Amino acid sequence: MYVDPTPSHLERFMADAEDPDPVFMLNLLRFRATTESGEPGAEAYGRYAAAAAGHLARVGGEIVWAGGCSPAVIGPEEGEWDVAAVVRYPSRKAFLEMVADPDYQRAAADRTAALADSRLIPCAGVPAGSV
Protein backbone atom coordinates (compact mmCIF):
# COMPACT_ATOMS: atom_id res chain seq x y z
CA MET A 1 0.00 0.00 0.00
CA TYR A 2 1.20 3.49 -0.82
CA VAL A 3 -0.05 6.57 1.00
CA ASP A 4 2.91 8.91 1.52
CA PRO A 5 5.91 9.38 -0.76
CA THR A 6 9.11 7.56 0.07
CA PRO A 7 12.42 9.45 0.04
CA SER A 8 13.40 7.69 -3.19
CA HIS A 9 10.13 8.68 -4.88
CA LEU A 10 10.68 12.31 -3.88
CA GLU A 11 14.30 12.24 -5.04
CA ARG A 12 13.22 10.94 -8.45
CA PHE A 13 10.55 13.68 -8.73
CA MET A 14 13.00 16.37 -7.58
CA ALA A 15 15.57 15.32 -10.17
CA ASP A 16 13.44 17.18 -12.73
CA ALA A 17 12.54 20.09 -10.42
CA GLU A 18 14.06 22.63 -12.83
CA ASP A 19 11.69 21.58 -15.63
CA PRO A 20 9.66 24.77 -16.24
CA ASP A 21 6.71 22.98 -17.86
CA PRO A 22 3.43 22.34 -16.07
CA VAL A 23 3.01 18.96 -14.41
CA PHE A 24 -0.30 17.14 -14.17
CA MET A 25 -0.55 14.96 -11.08
CA LEU A 26 -2.83 11.94 -11.51
CA ASN A 27 -4.25 11.06 -8.08
CA LEU A 28 -5.81 7.62 -7.53
CA LEU A 29 -7.35 7.31 -4.08
CA ARG A 30 -8.83 4.49 -2.02
CA PHE A 31 -10.25 5.53 1.33
CA ARG A 32 -10.14 3.64 4.58
CA ALA A 33 -13.58 2.61 5.79
CA THR A 34 -12.69 4.39 9.02
CA THR A 35 -9.61 6.19 10.29
CA GLU A 36 -7.90 5.10 13.50
CA SER A 37 -10.09 7.64 15.33
CA GLY A 38 -13.25 6.03 13.90
CA GLU A 39 -14.08 8.76 11.40
CA PRO A 40 -15.01 7.70 7.85
CA GLY A 41 -11.94 7.96 5.63
CA ALA A 42 -13.83 9.97 2.99
CA GLU A 43 -14.70 12.60 5.63
CA ALA A 44 -11.09 12.94 6.75
CA TYR A 45 -10.02 13.30 3.13
CA GLY A 46 -12.69 15.96 2.58
CA ARG A 47 -11.20 17.97 5.43
CA TYR A 48 -7.73 17.62 3.87
CA ALA A 49 -9.05 18.66 0.44
CA ALA A 50 -10.70 21.77 1.86
CA ALA A 51 -7.49 22.81 3.62
CA ALA A 52 -5.30 21.94 0.62
CA ALA A 53 -7.37 24.10 -1.75
CA GLY A 54 -5.84 27.33 -0.45
CA HIS A 55 -2.33 25.93 -0.71
CA LEU A 56 -3.01 24.75 -4.25
CA ALA A 57 -4.28 28.18 -5.29
CA ARG A 58 -1.31 29.90 -3.62
CA VAL A 59 1.16 28.07 -5.90
CA GLY A 60 -0.98 28.54 -9.03
CA GLY A 61 -2.34 25.01 -9.18
CA GLU A 62 -5.83 23.88 -10.07
CA ILE A 63 -7.93 20.76 -10.05
CA VAL A 64 -8.51 19.96 -13.73
CA TRP A 65 -10.87 17.05 -13.13
CA ALA A 66 -12.01 14.87 -10.23
CA GLY A 67 -14.64 12.18 -9.89
CA GLY A 68 -15.68 8.87 -8.44
CA CYS A 69 -14.44 5.62 -9.95
CA SER A 70 -16.33 2.58 -11.19
CA PRO A 71 -14.76 -0.88 -11.53
CA ALA A 72 -12.20 -1.00 -14.34
CA VAL A 73 -12.96 -2.06 -17.89
CA ILE A 74 -9.40 -3.43 -18.04
CA GLY A 75 -8.06 -4.42 -14.65
CA PRO A 76 -9.09 -6.21 -11.48
CA GLU A 77 -12.75 -7.22 -11.17
CA GLU A 78 -13.12 -5.38 -7.87
CA GLY A 79 -12.91 -1.61 -7.85
CA GLU A 80 -9.46 -0.44 -6.83
CA TRP A 81 -10.06 3.30 -6.51
CA ASP A 82 -12.76 5.44 -4.95
CA VAL A 83 -11.72 8.73 -6.54
CA ALA A 84 -9.43 9.87 -9.34
CA ALA A 85 -8.29 13.45 -9.88
CA VAL A 86 -5.97 15.36 -12.17
CA VAL A 87 -4.31 18.39 -10.60
CA ARG A 88 -2.28 20.84 -12.70
CA TYR A 89 0.70 22.62 -11.19
CA PRO A 90 2.56 25.35 -13.09
CA SER A 91 5.80 23.43 -12.49
CA ARG A 92 7.37 20.73 -10.36
CA LYS A 93 8.86 23.51 -8.23
CA ALA A 94 5.36 24.79 -7.47
CA PHE A 95 4.29 21.34 -6.29
CA LEU A 96 7.41 21.02 -4.13
CA GLU A 97 6.84 24.49 -2.66
CA MET A 98 3.32 23.51 -1.67
CA VAL A 99 4.20 20.21 -0.02
CA ALA A 100 7.12 21.78 1.89
CA ASP A 101 4.86 24.34 3.57
CA PRO A 102 4.42 23.48 7.28
CA ASP A 103 0.72 24.45 7.21
CA TYR A 104 0.17 22.13 4.25
CA GLN A 105 2.01 19.34 6.05
CA ARG A 106 -0.29 19.69 9.06
CA ALA A 107 -3.33 19.42 6.78
CA ALA A 108 -1.79 16.41 5.00
CA ALA A 109 -2.08 14.41 8.24
CA ASP A 110 -5.79 14.07 7.40
CA ARG A 111 -4.86 12.73 3.95
CA THR A 112 -2.59 10.11 5.49
CA ALA A 113 -5.27 9.10 8.00
CA ALA A 114 -7.94 8.90 5.29
CA LEU A 115 -6.22 6.71 2.70
CA ALA A 116 -5.87 2.94 2.52
CA ASP A 117 -3.92 3.20 -0.75
CA SER A 118 -3.09 5.80 -3.37
CA ARG A 119 -1.02 6.66 -6.39
CA LEU A 120 0.34 10.09 -7.29
CA ILE A 121 1.69 9.98 -10.82
CA PRO A 122 3.31 13.03 -12.45
CA CYS A 123 2.33 13.39 -16.10
CA ALA A 124 3.51 15.77 -18.79
CA GLY A 125 1.13 17.75 -20.93
CA VAL A 126 0.88 16.49 -24.49
CA PRO A 127 -0.39 18.63 -27.38
CA ALA A 128 -3.94 17.70 -28.36
CA GLY A 129 -4.07 15.21 -31.22
CA SER A 130 -0.55 13.87 -30.72
CA VAL A 131 -1.52 10.77 -28.73
Name residue 34's beta-bridge partners.
Answer: 40
Alpha-carbon distance values, 15 to 9, 96, 125 (Å): 10, 12, 18
Is pLDDT above 90 for 2?
no
When pLDDT is cut at 50, 70 and 90, the band that residue 128 belongs to is low
Q: Is the pTM of this model over 0.75?
A: yes
What is the pLDDT at residue 130? Answer: 60
What average pLDDT does the segment 25-41 reach?
97
Assigned fold of 7-12+20-71+79-119: Alpha-Beta Plaits (3.30.70)
What is the pLDDT at residue 78? Answer: 82
Quickly list DSSP for 67-130.
Answer: EE-PPPSSS-SS---SEEEEEEES-HHHHHHHHH-HHHHHHHHHHHHHEEEEEEEEEE---TT-
Residues 66-124: tens digit of each pLDDT? 999 999 899 888 889 999 999 999 999 999 999 999 999 999 999 999 999 999 999 98
Q: Of 31, 71, 69, give the one whose Cα is nearest residue 48.
A: 31
What is the pLDDT at residue 131? Answer: 56
Q: How is the chain split into domains, by residue range?
A: 7-12+20-71+79-119
When pLDDT is cut at 50, 70 and 90, the band that residue 127 belongs to is low
Residue 24 contacts by C-beta under 8 Å, 6 or more apart in sequence?
Answer: 64, 86, 87, 88, 89, 122, 123, 124, 125
Alpha-carbon distance values, 87 to 11, 53, 66, 75 (Å): 20, 11, 8, 23
- Give the residue with greater pLDDT, 19 vs 49: 49
Is pLDDT above 80 for 51?
yes
Residues 53-68: tens digit of each pLDDT? 999 999 999 999 999 9
